[in-house]
A and B are shown apart, each in its own frame.
Chain A
Amino acid sequence: MAISRRKFLKITSGAIGGGVAAEIGILNVDTAAAAAKAGKAPIKSGRQVASICPYCAVGCGQIVTVSDAGEIVDIQGNPDSPINQGTLCPKGAATYQLVKNEQRWSTVKYRAPGSDRWEERPLEWAMSRIAELTKKTRDANFNEFQDLPDGKGGTVRKRVMNTYAIASLGGATMDNEWNYLHQKLMHALGVVYLENQARI
């Protein structure tokens, strides 16, 4: 940013045109210094990680910047992406606030039957309890066979290997990998009320 006073003044007076000189430094002070200082602005920087916008299905590329301390400090459009070329919509541009948000919960909350409050619980405990409930509900409500209409007004006994007591409803902003694992597990358990935002 080595810029001489003369040059700076020339630039500014050029830009100002017919106007009155904007400021006067007294005691022969170099006005360029202030400009130069303002110009030496620090910029957010760090490791850049390629990501995809979590909102709609256009699939805009994002770049997540991570500080040396491992904190996400910035999320913006990926200029390489042929889809968005660095641009984002307001939701995509707000992704940083989705990640770094005071209101985001990062602990397990539990509400006992009939209770009027949330309680914090360890993750391990919750996983064990959920597995237990899943097994209990499935085992108590599993159908190996079911009588189904035969299309001629009667019924026919069919092997169905399912349970109607457990349902799963998933969002569509979760990875392909999750979708695969989840359908796999649900099918293994016999869950047929398996639905996703993707229907609508």
Chain B
Amino acid sequence: MGSNMAECHPVAFRWPLKARTDHDAVLMHVDPRFTRTSAACNLHVPIRAGSDIAFLGALIKFVINSKRWNEDPFFREYVVNYTNAATLVNPEFRDTEELDGVFSGLAPDGKSYANATWSYQRNQAPPKAKGGVGPFSDLLLQQVPGRPKTDPTLQDPNCVLQIVRKHYARYTPDLVEKVCGCSAEQFLKVAQTMLDNSGRDKTANITYAVGWTQHTVGVQIIRAAAMLQALLGNIGRPGGGVLALRGHATIQGSTDIATLYHSLPAYLNMPDGRKKHDSLKEFILTEAGPLATSYWGNYPKFAVSYLKAQFGAAATAENDYGYDYHPKITGDHSHMPMMLDMAAGKIKGFFVMGQNPAVGGQNARLQRKALAKLDWMVVRDYFETETAAFWRNSPEVLSGELKTADIKTEVFFLPAAAVAEMEGSFTNTQRLLQQHDKAADPPGDARSDSWFTYQLGKRLQKMYADSASNLDWGIKNLAWDYEPEAKEVAPWRIKDEPSAYKVLKEINGVTVADQKPLATFANLKEDGSTACGAWIYTGVIPEDGKNNAARRKPDQWISPNWGFAWPANRHIMYNRASADSQGKPWSEAKKLVFWDPDADSGTKDPAGNTVRGKWVAPSGEGIDFQPTKAPTMVGKDAALGFDWLSGNDAFIMRADGKAWLFAPAGLVDGPLPTHYEPYESPVANRVYRQQSNPVAKVWRTEGNVYHGVADPKYPIVVSTYRVTEHHLSGTMSRWLPWLAELMPELFCEVSPELAAEKGIRNAGYVTIVTARGEIEARALVTRRIKPFVIDGKKVHEIGLPWHWGWQGNAKGDVANDLSAMVGDPNVSIHEGKVFTCDIRAGRKGGRS
């Protein structure tokens, strides 16, 4: 669901298809369209775009009401031990069932939630303990809350399972039929297959991609899948899980080592002026306090080591490791508000590197017009992208809306090196770091992206070298030395590329004193003696001269010696859950990590005897747990991290060590996934009075006009998506004649039924209109697209792959000219997978 794997990740699809042909695995595709993925699956169930939570919620209800789930001891053992099903929630909590579509805690203006009522019931806090590994841990220890209360019989009405049961009570097959537009029979087939293929001997996997994320309820859709998988015992086990298929070579790396406004590397939050982040101590307490009983109990080490990597010797305990000089965010600075602020003239200078917002940006017309407000812009790419050329030949310039002479933006185009022309590492969608070596110098003045940033930094540092201002302390004291060793650049014409090895080594982390790499993040310190760019990557360079990302020894299964999977070469996260509560494998077929009571733990008891028992993985898989914590061991109450966690707390990054069916924290739009209609929908929400996500990110400004619910002017649902033959905004594919000829032009997929209604001819032109823009495309009339009957009303959907722009060997209008800026409240991802529009036969401006 939410993924068109065969088309967008064709090579990854090799494996499920192999499972189908060689092992009789059942592949099911739940998707609005019949795609190349559907064609390869046993079953395709079409559901209306944006109705995923209704479908998933009904799956959850089906599972927890099924006879097998209630009788097979496997499910109870897994759920009671590894999820928070038994945990008791604040009795003040009110569910959507009681408040007709919203949860308790909604602010009077209806735009945000306070989550106090979503919290756990807890025991008395333990007596305040001392003895942390450093000053920050000491403070955290003072704050450890009492353990959550539980009811292992799962009967308490406030226990999570009962809340979940109640929440999804009305998500019946009948509701699925009415909301999703598929038959109850098709739904039941999916549900039964999921259940039949989960258990001790079998696991089922759910794979998604941006088909789930690009919604105003994107995070909640994925949560719903995670809940289903947790209930089915499919997490932390081989063949199970919820797999995110991400779209770019190192999009995972860009998230891990975030070039994202809200995040520091390795998932530390960005200091925020709106939060209690006024000093490093407060920052750590605010951020780590609620998490300190998980592995995040080590947060102080991560934060201090990050600052040490940032400012080097200038970062000292006395100056809070330079924390005061680190910038703070003050709001949502993500892509969409960034472009809106640019349109408002707030932003003067813009670096665009390997990105093409003139095509790929939501409401792209608005984004292109925003570029014209800049004083300067630097574009780094291979080709003259639409973004680079916006001032020259964008639709706005051609239509006269913008005049080239009036655009005062100073534009720099810097040619970029291709991947084969530089050394570096990528992190793939499975968190696997892989090294790519340099094969040749890039042509002419083309340079690697690292070169650009490094050389720019060197220049700036020189310019600020004489500044005595506090404001410039950060750039002046930035640790910025990645000069290549002579042997690194010896074979090449270009001698001033920064050393990729030195950068990765800093990301990995070193001990400050001798600059030796850290072998594991367990060696990090919170006293400033270690520097580490991104703690989750520690271990990629375990010792000088050894780069685990460059390991290239495959095997038939997990291939632990191929690249490096963060964290600590763990390929399957939370893999402690692949063994039962006693540490024994659930079954021979699904054996991965288990407790070997006879193995030498490598430690000795005070008497000097060898302590026996440790977690083992014969496949070489990294163990995502404390290696010597026995399954029966009970955690300490007044402790941090692993010390607090018990031998059964497989989900070590959660403060209670459990997989969350109910999310007491971390989400801004509710603890349980709930069906809301997309922000623009042709139908009213049939499940609740609340139409759409109440706290969705909405920007009502000029040029970003939204359509109403069931807006008669825009009755048709449109999804944007990708095809195999192109890559995203097309910069890396539309300029390649080999790919251009495979998919030469923007097209719009239309059902024959809609085509008949509108007089659309196959291969003829259609014009698609929203309040944001108007584009034309070639029509592809196909039964792979179907109209849905939603609660008795016919709802037409059309599909628009969005790869095209006006530059390159394959051209077409910009599909994103139609989309609106509206986003998920948790992560500010836009809703590109479903919005409304109108379509008519013929070209733009009435030409036919």
Contacts and interface: CB of A to CB of B under 8 A. Distances in A.
Q: Does a CB–CB distance below 8 Å link A and B in the complex?
A: yes
A180 B507 contact: yes
Given A133-B349, A174-B353, A49 B420 contact: yes
Contacts of B309: 184
Contacts of B325: 161
Interface stretch (B449-457, B581-589, B603-611): B449-457
A130 B329 CA distance: 24
A8 B325 CA distance: 80
Interface in B140-181: none
Given A70-B440, A129-B412, A167-B350, A193 B338 contact: yes
A19 to B, nearest CB: 35
Interface string A131-146: 1111101000110101
A45 interface: no
A173 B375 CA distance: 27
A97 interface: yes
A104 B443 contact: yes
B439 A72 contact: yes
B504 A181 contact: no
Nearest to B458: A131
A177 B450 contact: yes
Nearest to A176: B253
Given A66-B440, A170-B355, A180 B534 contact: yes
Contacts of A31: none
B247 A185 contact: no
B249 A199 contact: no
A164 B439 contact: no
A125 to B, nearest CB: 10
Given A49-B438, A101-B735, A137 B259 contact: no
A135, A165, A171: most-surrounded residue (chain B CB, <10 A): A171
B331 to A, nearest CB: 9
B326 A161 contact: yes
A169 B264 CA distance: 16
A130 B459 CA distance: 10
Output the residue of B420, B424, B736 with the most chain A CB within 10 A.
Answer: B420
A186 interface: yes
B191 to A, nearest CB: 29
Contacts of A51: 419-420, 436-437, 439
Contacts of B594: none
Contacts, number: 479
A148 B424 contact: no
Interface stretch (A9-17, A34-42, A55-63): A55-63
Contact of A58 (B12, B264, B478, B726): B12
A126 B411 CA distance: 10
Contacts of A174: 250, 254, 353-354, 449
B426 A175 contact: yes
A37 to B, nearest CB: 30
Contacts of B600: none
Interface string A160-200: 11111111111111111111111111111111111111111
A25 interface: no
Contact of A175 (B253, B456, B732): B253
Contact of B273 (A95, A128, A148, A163): A148
A90 B213 contact: no
A23 interface: no
Nearest to A140: B348
B11 A50 contact: no
Contact of B727 (A91, A97, A111, A191): A91
Given A195-B334, A196-B258, A178 B450 contact: yes
B353 A107 contact: no
Contacts of B500: 175, 177
A166 B348 contact: yes
B444 interface: yes
Interface in B587-636: none
A141 B742 CA distance: 47
Given A56-B9, A169-B357, A181 B736 contact: no
B260 interface: yes
A184 B273 contact: no
B259 A148 contact: no
A184 to B, nearest CB: 6
B479 to A, nearest CB: 8
Contact of A127 (B265, B335, B459): B459
B260 A196 contact: yes
B410 interface: yes
23 contacts: A59-B432, A89-B10, A104-B443, A104-B735, A108-B413, A108-B414, A110-B413, A114-B406, A129-B412, A169-B350, A170-B354, A172-B248, A173-B251, A175-B426, A175-B450, A176-B424, A177-B425, A188-B478, A192-B261, A197-B360, A197-B728, A198-B254, A200-B335
Interface of A: 47, 49-62, 64, 66, 70-72, 75, 80-85, 87-92, 94-95, 97-99, 101, 103-116, 118, 122-123, 126-135, 137, 141-142, 144, 146, 148-149, 158-200
Given A158-B328, A179-B258, 12 more contacts: A87-B14, A101-B383, A107-B415, A110-B413, A148-B273, A161-B326, A167-B342, A170-B354, A182-B453, A187-B310, A195-B338, A200-B214
The 10 A-B pairs at the shortest CB distance, nearest first, are namely: A171-B354, A59-B428, A175-B424, A106-B444, A172-B248, A172-B251, A57-B246, A57-B429, A131-B459, A109-B413
